[in-house]
Structure 1
Amino acid sequence: MGQNKDYYCGPASGYEIIRYLHGAGFTSRFDGTSPGQAGLANANHMETDKYGKTDWARADWTRGVNRWRGVNWYVQVHAPSGSLLKSVAAQSIGGNGMPFSGNTVEFVDGPHYNKHPNRLIGHWIAAYAYSNSGGTIGWADSSTTIFTTAARYFSYSSSSFATFLQSNGIAY
């Protein structure tokens, strides 16, 4: 699913995960908001509309998804190593059936994933699959409505992808 607004990567990745876990019609357990990106972006969930982004430091994504689901499942882990990312993929997706999210940062003139352009990009994406005991992770990228060269789904090695998570991290 693409982002409804250019700064809705948090709500888009959150809604993808909620929809996977509970179905498309799952309303917020916190306030009864109708399902979708706009509902997750509201002030009772991720506060994305208020701030124009889904902030890592305020734990906006984690708070929003947990409130929507009515359980405090997701926690943030700052700057995971490649080996931790591999373990999280195997345990969270494989062991618990729970997709997780990554809050990446790509820097100008640095490496970029999934054919993102050479600019500063902070971005939330959803991890939905893994192989090689977590050594490779399948990601869903909502930026396809903004970056036309990006693929909707892509895979990346855990050890290499961890470099994009060192400024922020994962919520699993």
Structure 2
Amino acid sequence: MRSIKRLGVGVVAAAATFSMLGAAPAQAATDDGTGTATAAAVPAKSLTGYKHVGQKENWWCGPASAYIIIAGMKHYGKISSTKSKAHPSWSFSQANLASGSYLKANGGGGTQRADMARGINKWIGKDWYHVLSNPSSTQFKDRVGKDIRKGYAVAVAALEHAGGSHYNGHPRSKTIDHWVVARGYTANYAKTHFVDPATTVWGPVEPYFSYNTNDFVNRFVKPSKAIVW
């Protein structure tokens, strides 16, 4: 039902949205000359309308990621306004997203995965985002691919252990539990394109980065974290 709801959004602007977002369909599987069908290629896709913002507090990577996602949905005509459906008088801000009414990120402990999904849904007044914990690389590619092809970004919770693998200039000496936003991928999902709100926390961090999809999932997401898609 979730996919059906998403396809029915923005009827007034449906034609324009489709022409802007619709990726060329993947080619059908072909015979490689040996009688064996080869897998169809998945074309690259990027949603550059999901734009970077830096997190306002060190522990607000969740609210910043939610802000990026909601602003991007407005950009692509998925929602008509960035105003909260539950509190129409509230301004669209990381501070309000971080509140106890939405992401519950004001205790200093960051944003939990269930609160990320619930908070985004409550803000936009739709039941669109859901949690998938400990996704395999295949599951990650499937969900991220489906959402991005329809014009939606995905919130990704990723855990880096001190002294272990880190990404995008994050300090290796720290254990970092962090939210980033997946907004695109290269052909066949070889790499995923992310938006990282931590530019306001650590100097070397880039606002946009790409990472080998299998490695990112297996190192940072699948062991204990989740996606909200």
* TM-score greater than 0.5 by the shorter chain: yes
Q: 5+ unaligned residues in a row in structure 2: which ranges?
A: 1-52
The answer for the alignment partner of 1:27 in structure 2 is: 83
Deviation at 1:136, TM superposition (A): 1.6
RMSD of aligned residue pairs (Cα, Å): 1.5
Runs of 4 or more above 6 Å deviation: none
* C-alpha contact (below 8 Å) 1:104/1:164 kept by paired residues: yes
The answer for the alignment partner of 2:189 in structure 1 is: 134
Deviation at 1:73, TM superposition (A): 0.6
Matched, 1:4 2:56: yes
The answer for the alignment partner of 2:165 in structure 1 is: 111
* C-alpha contact (below 8 Å) 1:108/1:120 kept by paired residues: yes
CA distance, structure 1, for counterparts of residue 126 and residue 64 of structure 2: 19
CA distance, structure 2, for counterparts of residue 26 and residue 98 of structure 1: 15
Equivalent position amino acid for 2:188 in 1: S
CA distance, structure 2, for counterparts of residue 135 and residue 82 of structure 1: 11
The answer for the alignment partner of 1:87 in structure 2 is: 142
CA distance, structure 1, for counterparts of residue 145 and residue 112 of structure 2: 26
CA distance, structure 2, for counterparts of residue 105 and residue 82 of structure 1: 15
* C-alpha contact (below 8 Å) 2:59/2:108 kept by paired residues: no
SS at structure 2 position matched to 1:86:
helix
State which structure, 1 or 2, has the greater radius of gyration over its C-alpha atoms.
Answer: 2
Note the 1:1-172 alignment, pairs <5 A: 1-23=53-75, 26-32=82-88, 33-50=90-107, 52-56=109-113, 59-94=114-149, 96-118=150-172, 119-162=174-217, 163-165=219-221, 166-172=223-229
Equivalent position amino acid for 1:100 in 2: V
CA distance, structure 2, for counterparts of residue 154 and residue 114 of structure 1: 7
Post-superposition Cα deviations, 1:43-73, rounded to whole Å, max 9, x if no partner, equal: 11001114541123xx111111110110011
Deviation at 1:133, TM superposition (A): 2.9
Q: 5+ unaligned residues in a row in structure 1: which ranges?
A: none
* C-alpha contact (below 8 Å) 2:54/2:199 kept by paired residues: yes
* C-alpha contact (below 8 Å) 2:195/2:208 kept by paired residues: yes
TM-score, normalization by structure 2: 0.70
SS at structure 1 position matched to 2:96:
helix
SS at structure 2 position matched to 1:48:
coil
SS at structure 1 position matched to 2:224:
coil
CA distance, structure 2, for counterparts of residue 75 and residue 86 of structure 1: 16
SS at structure 1 position matched to 2:165:
coil
Deviation at 1:152, TM superposition (A): 0.5
Post-superposition Cα deviations, 1:21-53, rounded to whole Å, max 9, x if no partner, equal: 115961111222210101100111001114541
TM-score, normalization by structure 1: 0.93
SS at structure 2 position matched to 1:72:
coil
* C-alpha contact (below 8 Å) 1:45/1:64 kept by paired residues: yes
Post-superposition Cα deviations, 1:65-86, rounded to whole Å, max 9, x if no partner, equal: 1101100111111111112112
